[in-house]
Amino acid sequence: MSKEVKKVAFLTAGGLAPCLSSSIGFLIDEYTKKAPGVEMIGYINGYMGLLKGDSIPVTDVVRKNALVLTRHGGSPIGNSRVKLTNVADCVKRGLVKAGEDPLKVAADQLVKDGVDVLHTIGGDDTNTTAADLAEYLAKNDYPLIVVGLPKTIDNDVYPIRQSLGAWTAAEEGARFFMNVVKENSANPRALTIHEVMGRNCGWLTYKTAQCYRKLLARTKFLPEFMLTKGRQDVHAVYVPESRIHFAAEAERLRAIMDKYDSVNIFVSEGAGVADIIKEMEKRGETVPRDAFGHPRLDKVNVGQYVGKRFGELLKAEKVQVFKSGYFARSAAPCKKDRDLIEACARKAVECALKGVSGVVGQDEDDNGKIQACDFKRIKGGKPFNVRKGSFRKMLVEIGQCEYRKDENGEMKPIFPGMRKRRTAKK
């Protein structure tokens, strides 16, 4: 883009993550340093604000104190879930009139506001919508570009190696469970379910469990008075990339319940969703979907389903399901995340001033180099690699098995990592 950048706009969209406020703070600070003459605004409540022309200016006071935003969670300008290509949904919500194209309404509003660069901060849905908008702008010769930042606590955006806010979400989820795990002392035979929020949060569930177990390792216990590490440890971790074999796992977990009088399970919000939906549809129930076509996970309710199934199989006296998502996703970023956010935000400004569009992040196809990745490459739902060494090591440590059918069709346990070593040829 040869046009001089005179005005930029920011919007945050989708669910919250511990990077939204921080990203805006670093973006404002970098523009103030590198291009102090550039005017800035923020669209209120994401794409909803863009369609409605609802924005707030970045004043001199905000510029001067922009780094304050980097120490906060949430988003100062608000979020929403809007898909610009879902015309029916936009009309239904009163964001556009019948017969209007939301992409054109958004593009025209950007031109009306004099915006040269739009910075979108969000996950896969936000950035695929940004891709739709960027493509529309290019095809119709609108003189502006879109530069995105990859926010998702699930860390599930391809080709981004590490999305912004994910490390913090794992640490905060671990802190959350350090308190609620004590609920297993409220009743005999207590089953405690930690449901980790996110449709494709296999990585986050694993990382949260890993962070939690590191906290446990630094905690003193008094086993002589029944205060044991084993009672508070993680006893099972279930992610979307692996099936939950209820009957086989119940046999293993029942022994733990008998020993410690409690069982603690970490489960992804998206684990086993397909199987649960099939059961719901067999009962004649309709699973509602959001504007992006995703099943409404609050209606599928994986945590309650897993709790009910294992509660019956383990003869639990009390089953409790705790969701750490709202605690974790609205947190301020940790230092490790803040450093990554700052590096990506500063690169995003560099790209914007050079007229380079795309989603700025660690490109895993280029050795993790921070650069603008073409919008066409951005995809959500990047699966967690369950063959990851540290994940399999954790499963071995907690005694969780993999299962395979034998020649009789029965499920037999196979412990991950416990493979026969090949004998070297003499």
Q: In whole angstroms, what is the distance from residue 334 CA to residue 177 CA?
A: 18
pLDDT value at 425 more than 60 = no
- Work out the pLDDT band at 74, boundaries 50, 70, 90: very high
Could you give the 3-state DSSP secondary structure of residue 130?
helix
Q: In whole angstroms, what is the distance from residue 33 CA to residue 63 CA?
A: 10
Half-sphere exposure of 215 (CA within 13 A, CB side): 20
pLDDT of res. 289: 77
CB atoms within 10 A of CB 306: 25
In the chain, the N- to C-terminal Cα span, in Å, equals 65
- The answer to whether 20 and 121 are in contact (CB under 8 A) is yes
- Work out the pLDDT band at 408, boundaries 50, 70, 90: confident
What is the average pLDDT across 250-266? 97
321 and 359 share a domain? no
Q: Is residue 382 a part of any domain in this protein? A: no
Annotated active-site residue 154? The verdict is: yes
Q: What is the DSSP letter of 346?
A: H
pTM to 2 decimals? 0.90
Q: What would the pLDDT profile of 42-73 be if each residue is shown by its tens digit?
A: 999 999 999 999 999 999 999 999 999 999 99
Q: In whole angstroms, what is the distance from residue 211 CA to residue 207 CA?
A: 6
196 and 314 share a domain? yes
pLDDT value at 418 more than 50 = no
Residue identified by tokens 């669209």 is 43
320 and 225 share a domain? yes
pLDDT value at 417 more than 60 = no
Please name which of 256, 232, 244, 126 lies closest in space to residue 177, comparing C-alpha atoms. Answer: 232
Q: In whole angstroms, what is the distance from residue 270 CA to residue 205 CA?
A: 10
pLDDT of res. 350: 98
322 and 353 share a domain? no
Q: What is the DSSP letter of 424?
A: P
What is the average pLDDT across 348-374? 97
Phi, psi of 406 (to 5 degrees): -85, -170
Catalytic residue among 89, 125, 154, 233: 154
Q: Is residue 82 a part of any domain in this protein? A: yes
Structure tokens at 146: 């879109």
207 and 111 share a domain? no
Q: Is residue 203 a part of any domain in this protein? A: yes
What is the average pLDDT across 123-148? 92
The C-alpha angle with vertex 11 and arms to 6 and 13, in degrees rounded to 5, equals: 160
65 and 177 share a domain? no
Least trusted range by pLDDT, from 14-18, 22-26, 97-101? 14-18
Mean pLDDT of the chain: 91
pLDDT value at 213 more than 70 = yes
- Work out the pLDDT band at 422, boundaries 50, 70, 90: very low
CB atoms within 10 A of CB 259: 12
What is the average pLDDT across 283-300? 72
Q: In whole angstroms, what is the distance from residue 171 CA to residue 180 CA?
A: 15
pLDDT value at 420 more than 50 = no
Q: Give percent above pLDDT 90 in the chain.
A: 78
Could you give the 3-state DSSP secondary structure of residue 146?
strand
13 and 62 share a domain? yes
- For residue 237, give the CATH number of its domain: 3.40.50.460
pLDDT of res. 70: 98
Structure tokens at 102: 């939301």
Q: State the total domains in the chain.
A: 2
What is the average pLDDT across 330-349? 98
Enclosing domain of residue 220: 167-329+387-414
Q: Is residue 2 a part of any domain in this protein? A: no
- For residue 140, give the CATH number of its domain: 3.40.50.450
Least trusted range by pLDDT, from 98-107, 205-214, 235-244, 300-309? 300-309
